[in-house]
């Protein structure tokens, strides 16, 4: 655990060291939501600088299968991810510092940890990354609301209109067809 001596008793959030952010990426692919940790201890560069943070709520204790809680699934996925990484070490990545971009890319880790760590160093790269992150996260947060004053329930309105419009068209077509049949002139056989 990262900085375990600073954890408050009963805290449900914990950070785990994860060299090159490989386990965190694997957990994300399995459907979990770990937050990346970076620059964990910059005053001690020999330590692992990357990891992930998990915050567990009582929702983690729900049963996802009979006798199996979400926490059990998370723990088994963590162990499985660790074992996969242990079976497939990357000798080329070991030539670089574990939180460097080459090590992260070669080993298949989460490159976000390196990008976010670069925000601490002043310079051109920080300026570029600041703009990129602002654009990405502004788009994520400000891409509009699903609801407006005009449409309080947009999804329900869309589905209703999508179903009613074709139904109305079919009704009008069948009524028109029926009306046209009844208006045909009576022809005598010759």
One digit per residue, the tens of pLDDT, for the chain of length 190 reads 787 778 788 788 889 999 989 999 999 999 998 999 989 888 988 888 999 999 888 878 888 889 999 899 999 999 999 999 989 888 888 889 888 889 899 988 888 888 889 888 899 989 998 888 888 777 666 666 555 666 666 667 777 777 888 888 889 988 888 877 766 665 556 6
pLDDT for 178: 80
* Rounded distance between C-alpha atoms, residue 132 and residue 120, angstroms: 15
**69 φ, ψ (degrees, to nearest 5):** -95, 165
Q: What is the pLDDT of residue 27?
A: 93
Contact by Cβ (8 Å): 154, 148 = yes
Between CA 35 and CA 21 the distance in angstroms is 10
Alpha-carbon distance of 137 to 143, in angstroms, equals 10
pLDDT at 78 (0 to 100): 93
- How much is the pTM? 0.64
């Amino acid at each position: 655990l990262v900085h375990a001596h600073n954890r408050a008793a009963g805290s449900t959030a914990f950070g785990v060291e994860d060299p090159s952010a490989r386990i965190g990426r694997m957990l994300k692919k399995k459907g979990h939501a770990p937050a990346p940790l970076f620059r964990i201890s910059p005053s001690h560069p020999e330590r692992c600088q990357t990891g992930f943070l998990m915050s567990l709520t009582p929702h983690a204790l729900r049963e996802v299968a009979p006798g199996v809680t979400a926490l059990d699934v998370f723990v088994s996925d963590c162990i499985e991810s660790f074992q996969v990484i242990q079976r497939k070490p990357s000798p080329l990545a070991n030539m670089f510092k574990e939180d460097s971009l080459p090590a992260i890319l070669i080993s298949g880790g989460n490159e976000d940890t390196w990008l976010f760590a670069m925000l601490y160093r002043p310079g051109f790269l920080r300026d570029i990354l600041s703009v990129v992150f602002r654009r990405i996260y502004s788009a994520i947060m400000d891409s509009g609301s699903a609801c407006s004053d005009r449409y309080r329930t947009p999804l329900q309105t869309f589905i209703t209109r999508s179903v009613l419009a074709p139904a109305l068209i079919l009704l009008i077509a069948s009524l028109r067809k029926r009306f046209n049949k009844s208006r045909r002139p009576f022809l005598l056989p010759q």
